[in-house]
Amino acid sequence: MMHFLRIKGGAKLSGEVGISGAKNAALPLMALTLISKNRVTIRNIPNVADIKTMAQLLRNLGASCEFANENSLTIDASGVNSTTATYDIVRKMRASILVLGPLLARFGRCEVSLPGGCAIGQRPIDLHLSALEKMGANIEIKQGYVVATAEGGLKGANIVFDKVTVTGSENIVTAAALAHGTTRLLNVALEPEVVQVCEILAAAGVKIEGIGTSELTIEGSGGKLLKISDFEVIPDRIEAATYLCAGAITNSKISVTGANAKHLTAVLAKFEEMGFGIRISGDKITILPAEKIRPCEIVTTEYPGFPTDAQAQFTALSLVANGVSTIDERLFENRFMHVSELARMGADIRLNGHIASVQGGGELNAADVMATDLRASSALVLAALVAKGVSRVHRIYHLDRGYENLEIKLKALGADVERLEE
């Protein structure tokens, strides 16, 4: 059944909203259980569609995945008896590529459907593949599948990533944990989600030097499966940024709880530059209204820089600033799909290649708009919160991939929003 959100703009927001576990941390951590010899319980799992997809992929491989409740998942991968991640799953979720490293390291072979392009750009996986080749894998593309073999297992290697890649780093770090010998990685992604993968491996006894830096040295277990302890997923920094944007765009005071402000330094600094107040107290971040909302200059880049996953939300937020904001998207070539939908609400945004100039301060009017990818969709929801009248955001299955209980959380903050069937 297709759902849409009906949002009546104009409500002031108030109160607190709890932040869920990070989807982009939970996904690699679920894949990582493929190299565990024991059952692992993961807490603070977000209840979103991508997690269900990853659970289905692990089940297809022969693992058992049981949800004790919506936010606690126990995985037992000891019985995995297939090494194929099929097209029907991978085409639903590119992050399926995260099983490549662990499967190859454990079984010495695997077949993973090659993810194609997606709404936000071309998104190749060449860096994942060339790193595995350096570790001794033989890789071929056959009938749309990456067919990887490494007889006798993967070997430690010296690898320099040509570009910073988040899932690429996670894939190779996990593979290296089971390889024979020592792997040295340079230009590793610094995202907190990558750091958590390293920390869980270290807690399982893997010797990793340099956690939290771009240079890692990992001593592999020589093919021996690990004993991974139960753990809790870190908070979703992008979900937190999105709700703080909801506070900002309506110029309301709201708080997010269960968040980690340290992971949001670049985002919080932008709110302050725009004139909003930010208060941090433990795991609670409060945003305070601005007297005058100033335009912003944003360049998306790797962590700890401003995250591309919050770009669309800040594009929407810029619509209420007094003046022209400039938003430069450096990571993905096609991540402005929200711009033409926002235009349907009267937004004045000029696109010039990867740079958007957003004229703030104009009137936004409600409209029917279509979600195109996860973060673009959240920008439409944000704009609808301030547009005059009743908007309908269609195709919200994109939102359901990454936002847990979005309309329930927004309603709790006082937004006038309903989920309805098309």
Cα separation, 209 vs 78, whole angstroms: 28
Select 20 or 24, whichever has its Cβ closest to ligand EPZ: 24
Angle at 347 between CA 271 and CA 340, to 5 degrees: 105
Q: Give the active site residue among 65, 118, 198, 245.
A: 118
Specify the residue, 4 or 332, whose C-beta has the smaller distance to ligand EPZ.
Answer: 332
Shortest distance in whole angstroms from residue 334 CB to ligand EPZ:
10
258: DSSP letter: S
- Select 127 or 387, whichever has its Cβ closest to ligand EPZ: 127
Phi, psi of 63 (to 5 degrees): -80, 155
Q: What's the rounded Cα separation, in Å, for the pair 37 and 83?
A: 16
Give CA–CA dist 18/362, Å, rounded.
32
DSSP type of residue 269? H
* Nearer residue to ligand EPZ within complex by CB, 30 or 320: 30
Minimum Å gap between C-beta 252 and ligand EPZ is 25
Residue appearing with tokens 């100033």: 294
118 is catalytic: yes
Q: Closer to ligand EPZ at the Cβ: 320 or 382?
A: 382
Going by their DSSP bridges, the two strands 84-85 and 109-113 should be labelled as parallel
Radius of gyration of the chain, Cα coordinates, nearest whole angstrom: 21
Nearer to ligand EPZ, 113 or 165 (CB): 165
Residue type, 349: I
Give CA separation, 15 vs 28, 72, 230, 257, 350, in Å: 32, 26, 32, 10, 35
The nearest distance, CB 72 to ligand EPZ, in angstroms, is 21
DSSP 2: -
CA nearest neighbour of 301 among 338, 339, 328: 328
State which residue, 46 or 168, has the beta carbon closest to ligand EPZ: 168
Q: Work out how close the CB of 167 gets to ligand EPZ at its nearest, in angstroms, rounded to a whole number.
A: 3
Q: What is the number of H-type helices and E-type strands within the chain? A: 14, 24
DSSP alpha helix (H) spans, 250-391: 265-273, 311-318, 337-343, 374-386
Structure tokens at 9: 């703009």
Strands 324-328 and 348-352: unpaired
Per CB under 6 A, residues contacting ligand EPZ are: 24, 27, 95, 123-128, 163, 165-168, 308-309, 331-332, 374-375, 402
Shortest distance, position 389 Cβ to ligand EPZ, whole Å: 28
Residue 145, beta-bridge partner list: 113, 142
Torsion, Cα of 40, 41, 43, 45 (10° steps): 70
Shortest distance (Å) from residue 353 CB to ligand EPZ: 15
Minimal distance in Å, beta carbon 37 to ligand EPZ? 25
The dihedral sign for the CA sequence 142, 398, 48, 264? positive
What amino acid is encoded at 337 in this protein? M
Q: Return the number of the residue (49 or 342) whose C-beta is nearest ligand EPZ.
A: 49
Shortest approach of ligand EPZ to residue 115 CB, angstroms?
9
Active site residues: 118
